[in-house]
Amino acid sequence: MEKAMTKEAILVFAHGARDPAWAEPLERICALVRQRRPEVRVELAFLELMQPLIGEALDRMAGAGFARITIVPAFMAPGGHIRKDLPELVAAARVRHPGLEVRVTAAIGQSEGVISAIADFAISALAAS
């Protein structure tokens, strides 16, 4: 008997801003993930000020049959939005979609690779000046 495949998705989660250009680097991150993992659905969602809001994105993904969603917070550190707002929004989505598996990673700024890349960027700025 063949095992059923679980549709997986990544949801990059950011704060949002009034200026649409603010989201451009995040859209580029999503595009790179899609390029590297074309079998995984990748979306960008926001806490406020931009669309889609995270609750709407989770609803849409669950409605499209995605049973496992990994949220990647595009924040430098785990402040109130990660510690309070995000868990509340995820809990509400789980109530609306029983059986939905949602995993939340650390904030991207907690990644040693990201920290190292930023340090490299800062050092390269010395050479450019």
* Residue 71, pLDDT score: 98
Higher pLDDT, 59 or 2: 59
Active site residues: 15
Q: Using one digit for the tens of pLDDT, what is the confidence trace for 83-103?
A: 999 999 999 999 999 999 999
* Residue 6, pLDDT score: 64
pLDDT exceeds cutoff 50 at 2: no
Domains in the chain, start-ordered, CATH in brackets?
8-128 (3.40.50.1400)
Give the mean pLDDT of 69-91: 96
pLDDT classification of 3: cutoffs 50, 70, 90: very low
Could you give the CA distance from residue 86 to residue 92 in angstroms, rounded to a whole number?
A: 10
Q: Using one digit for the tens of pLDDT, what is the confidence trace for 27-69?
A: 999 999 999 999 999 999 999 999 999 999 999 999 999 999 9
- What is the value of pTM for the model shown? 0.91
pLDDT classification of 1: cutoffs 50, 70, 90: very low
- 55-93 residues labelled b (16+ CB within 10 A) or e (exposed): eebbbebbeeebbebbbbbbbeeeeebbeeebeebbeeb
3-state secondary structure of 97: coil
DSSP class per residue in 29-77: HHHHHHHH-TTSEEEEEESSSSSSBHHHHHHHHHHTT--EEEEEE--SS
Q: Using one digit for the tens of pLDDT, what is the confidence trace for 109-126?
A: 999 999 999 999 999 999
